Amino acid sequence: MNPKIPVEIPTLSWSERVYYRDQLRAGRYAALADAEGFQAICFAVEALGMRLYGKKEALGGYKTSLAVLARDSLVLSELAFRDSARFSDFGSLFGLVYSARNDAMHTGVYARHATAAAIELCIGLEEALMKEQQIARRSAKDFMVKSPIIVEPWQPIAYARQLMLTHSFSFIPVYIENQWWLISEGAMARFLNVPRPEKMRVFAVPITEARAAGLTLIKAEVIDMNTSVDDLLSPANDERDPRLWLVEENPGRLCGVLSPFELM
């Protein structure tokens, strides 16, 4: 784990920064879905490390190149220095991930600890990639989650419920009568709050019929992919803080979803 110290790392284009940020984010989400699996994060970190280092190496060979990038993260640098009880620095996190990457014992408490470190490392590297000084004008397309999961109005409530539980969604979009709507977890729970003998019948109800029978839908806020993030986060919008923005490329066709979570 003693790679040659590079004089500098290459300057990444904005599209490259977004691409590698998305890879890290996808790995982080995969690790959250499986507390004992963090391989997706390792692959994402290795891909970023190879781009910065300039050639193929094992994970340890990318440490110094990644450390240079990590200096642009307030979390991995200044916060880790000022409040080490709550934040870990790049070296500590990378060391844990590196050790776990090369250890066959990916189970139990050890695996969960390694996964937590990998997620924390991802959050810091994502911040470094999206450093505000690099941003001329941030737009929804730079932060949205692509290939959004939706439900069709003819699909049964049980299917919408399954998707929400599988992906830990608080909301899921549905397109009804030329309008995007959101099914919330609260509305779903209330609609399914029926005696056990009624459960099977309610599960089979199509979403459109469920709406007519009392399922509350929220009118979605639809935005263009070029909508400015600064406009979305304007103090003028505080009173109508959205739960989820739907990013539409054509009427009735989404290209992504965006929540305040992705903008933090």
Q: Supply the pLDDT for residue 23.
A: 93
- Choose the weakest-confidence range: 63-72, 87-96, 99-108: 99-108
263: pLDDT confidence band, cut at 50, 70 and 90? confident
* Highest-pLDDT range among 3-7, 30-34, 87-91, 178-182: 178-182
Q: State the helix-helix crossing angle for 14-33 and 108-129, rounded to 10 degrees.
A: 160
How far apart CA 97 and CA 102 sit, in angstroms, is: 9
pLDDT computed for residue 17 by the predictor: 92
Residue 114: per-residue pLDDT? 83
Indicate the helix (H) or strand (E) that contains 146. Answer: strand 145-146
The pTM for the full model equals: 0.74
Which secondary-structure segment (H or E) carries 13?
none
Q: How many CB atoms lie within 10 A of CB 226?
A: 11
Say which range, 22-36, 86-100, 207-221, has the weakest mean pLDDT: 22-36
**Ranges 32-41, 203-212, 229-238, most confident:** 203-212
Confidence of residue 1 (pLDDT cuts 50, 70, 90): very low
Give how far Cα 35 sits from Cα of 189, 233, 247, Å. 26, 32, 30
Q: Determine how many CB atoms are found less than 10 A away from the CB of residue 123.
A: 18
pLDDT in tens, 115-148: 888 999 999 999 999 886 555 568 888 889 888 9
Q: What is the DSSP letter of 59?
A: G
pLDDT band at 2 (very low <50, low <70, confident <90, very high): very low
pLDDT tens per residue across span 3-33? 455 558 899 998 899 999 999 998 888 887 7
Region 237-241: mean pLDDT is: 59
User: Residue 258 in 3-state DSSP?
Assistant: strand
Tally Cβ neighbours within 10 Å of residue 132. Answer: 8
CATH fold, domain 140-263, is CBS-domain (3.10.580)
Radius of gyration in angstroms for the set of CA atoms belonging to the chain, rounded to a whole number:
21
Local structure of 97: helix, strand or coil: helix
As annotated, the residues of the chain forming the CATH 3.10.580.10 domain(s) are 140-263
Q: What is the mean pLDDT of residues 79-96?
A: 88
